[in-house]
A and B are shown apart, each in its own frame.
Chain A
Amino acid sequence: MRRFVSVFGSMALVVAACGTQGPTGGQQTPGTADTPVPGGRIVRAATGDPKSFNPIIVTDTTSYLYTGQVYYSLLTRDPKTGELTGSLAQKWGLSADGLTVTYTLRDDLVWSDGTPFTGDDYKYSAEAVMRSKRTTRQNTFTNVQGAQEYKEGKADQISGIQVKDGGKTIEIKLAKTLCPAIENLADPTSGGILPSKHFKQYFDPRTTDTSKTIDDNPLNMAPPASMGPWVFKDFKAGDRATYTKNPKFYRGEPLIDELVIKVYSDVAAIKAALLVGEVTFGSSTPQDFDELSKAESLRGFEFADYGWTYLGWNPDAPKAPWLANKLVRQAMWYGLDRKAIIDKIVFGHGKLLYSAQPPASIASYKDDDLNHYDFDPKKAKALIEQAGAKMGPDGIYRWTDGTPMKMRIETNQPNPVRETILQLAQDQYKAVGVQIDPILESFNTLLERIRCCGNDFEGWVSGFTGVGPDPDQEDLWHSKHIAANEFNRWRYRSPAADKLLDQIHNGPDCSEATRNKLAHDIDKLINEDVPVVFIYSPNTIVFANKALVNFAPTASQPSSTYNIEKWWFKK
Chain B
Amino acid sequence: MGRFVLRRLLQAVPTLFGILLLTFLLTRLSPSDPVTLIFGDQFNVTPEQRAELRRNLGLDDPLPVQFISYVGHVLVLDFGNSYYYHRPVLSVIGERLPNSLQLSIAALALGLIIGVPLGVLAALTRGRPTDHAIRLVSVGGHAIPTFWFGLLVVLNLGVMLRVLPVGSMNDLGKESDILDRVRHMIAPVVTLALAGISNYPRFVRTELLEVLSQDYVRTAHSKGLRQRVVVTRHALRNALIPLVTSLGGVLTILIGGAVVVEQIYNWPGVGRLFFEALVNKDFPIVQANVLVGSALLILSYILRDVTYALIDPRIKVKA
Contacts and interface: CB of A to CB of B under 8 A. Distances in A.
B202 interface: no
A556 interface: no
Contacts of B172: 41, 43, 240, 260, 262
A448 B36 contact: yes
How large, as a class, is the contact surface on chain A?
A: 35 or more
A134 B86 contact: yes
A272 B96 contact: no
Interface string A212-237: 00000000010000000000000011
Interface string B23-59: 0000000011100110111111110011011001000
Contacts, number: 119
A239 B268 contact: yes
Nearest to A448: B36
B280 interface: yes
A56 to B, nearest CB: 11
A238 B266 CA distance: 9
A150 to B, nearest CB: 16
A238 B167 CA distance: 13
A43 B50 CA distance: 38
B43 A276 contact: no
B263 interface: yes
B169 interface: yes
B268 A236 contact: yes
Contacts of A444: 32, 37, 40, 279-281
Interface stretch (B126-134, B154-162, B191-199): B154-162
Nearest to A444: B281
Interface in B97-130: 99
Nearest to B270: A238
A265 B33 contact: no
B167 A269 contact: yes
B305 interface: no
B166 A265 contact: no
B96 A237 contact: yes
Interface string B160-177: 001001111100110000
Contact of A238 (B41, B50, B96): B96
A475 B166 contact: no
B169 A239 contact: yes
B247 to A, nearest CB: 27
B42 to A, nearest CB: 4
Interface in A107-157: 133-134, 136-139
Interface string B285-311: 000000000000000000000000000
Contacts of A60: 40-41
A76 interface: no
Interface of A: 2, 41, 43, 48-49, 51-52, 57, 59-60, 133-134, 136-139, 221, 236-240, 260, 262-266, 269, 272-273, 275-276, 278, 442-445, 447-448, 452-453, 475, 485-487
19 contacts: A41-B173, A60-B41, A137-B44, A221-B87, A236-B268, A237-B95, A237-B96, A239-B268, A240-B172, A265-B167, A272-B154, A272-B158, A272-B167, A273-B166, A275-B159, A442-B279, A444-B32, A444-B279, A448-B37
In the A-B complex, the 6 residue pairs with the closest CB atoms: A238-B268, A237-B95, A272-B166, A136-B42, A239-B268, A59-B42
